[in-house]
Amino acid sequence: MKVSLMQCVLISLVLALVGFLFTHQFPLDAYTPAVVAGSLLVSGIVTPWIASLLATSKPVSSSSDTVMDDNVSTLYVGNLPYKANEDAVKAYFENHIRVQSVRLMKDKKTGKRKGYGFIEVVDGDVDAIIGQFNDSVFQDRTLKVRPAKDKVPG
């Protein structure tokens, strides 16, 4: 769930007020409005700032889904059916290998798929994977699977 900055500020203000009331043993009228407003303002500014820092930092995970870049290989997959989507391609390959991601290319003007894409495979013998999937049939099309070429900076 994505939370906007305004939602974060409003939540912070409410939590600051509740925290302020519960942590102080005196009634609210014992404090001047400036103290209450200052407390709410600081929490309304600091909390979203901390939240934005946390949102932009990369999460640290011990999950087995997190893969080191050294174990991932990118393969070109050509002659894909134009109607195929990323989920269908991933499901086809995942029957035999572990797939980290699928990226199908689209025409920038029309938004239609171009019939090729790239898959990132994990911990696999690239030559064996290519041998297994090159010239295999997927949705009535004979796939062409090759190692992906590195992008040339331009």
Tens digit of pLDDT for each residue in 61-119? 434 444 455 689 999 999 999 999 999 999 999 988 999 999 999 999 999 999 999 99
pTM for this structure? Answer: 0.55
* Whether residue 73 sits in one domain with residue 52: no
Residue 64 in any domain: the answer is no
Residue 136 in any domain: the answer is yes
Q: What is the pLDDT of residue 11?
A: 73
Q: What is the pLDDT of residue 63?
A: 40
Q: What is the pLDDT of residue 57?
A: 45
Q: What is the pLDDT of residue 43?
A: 61
Number of other residues whose CB lies within 10 A of the CB of residue 17: 16
* Whether residue 76 sits in one domain with residue 51: no
The structure tokens listed for 72 are 């991932």
Q: What is the pLDDT of residue 99?
A: 94
* Whether residue 75 sits in one domain with residue 49: no
* Whether residue 124 sits in one domain with residue 95: yes
**CATH label of the domain that carries residue 136:** 3.30.70.330
Q: What is the pLDDT of residue 141?
A: 96
Q: What is the pLDDT of residue 14?
A: 72
Question: What is the rounded average pLDDT of the residues 10-29?
Answer: 64
Number of other residues whose CB lies within 10 A of the CB of residue 103: 13
* Whether residue 143 sits in one domain with residue 76: yes
Residue 115 in any domain: the answer is yes
- What range defines the domain where residue 30 resides? 5-56
| Beta bridge partner(s), residue 144 | 78
Residue 103 in any domain: the answer is yes
Residue 133 in any domain: the answer is yes
* Whether residue 140 sits in one domain with residue 89: yes
Q: What is the pLDDT of residue 68?
A: 54
pLDDT at 123 over 70: yes
Tens digit of pLDDT for each residue in 29-76? 555 665 666 665 666 566 655 566 555 544 444 344 444 556 899 999
Distance (Å, rounded) from C-alpha 5 to C-alpha 11?
10
Distance (Å, rounded) from C-alpha 136 to C-alpha 132?
7
Residue 61 in any domain: the answer is no
Residue 104 in any domain: the answer is yes
* Whether residue 123 sits in one domain with residue 78: yes
Q: What is the pLDDT of residue 35?
A: 60
**Domain count of the chain?**
2
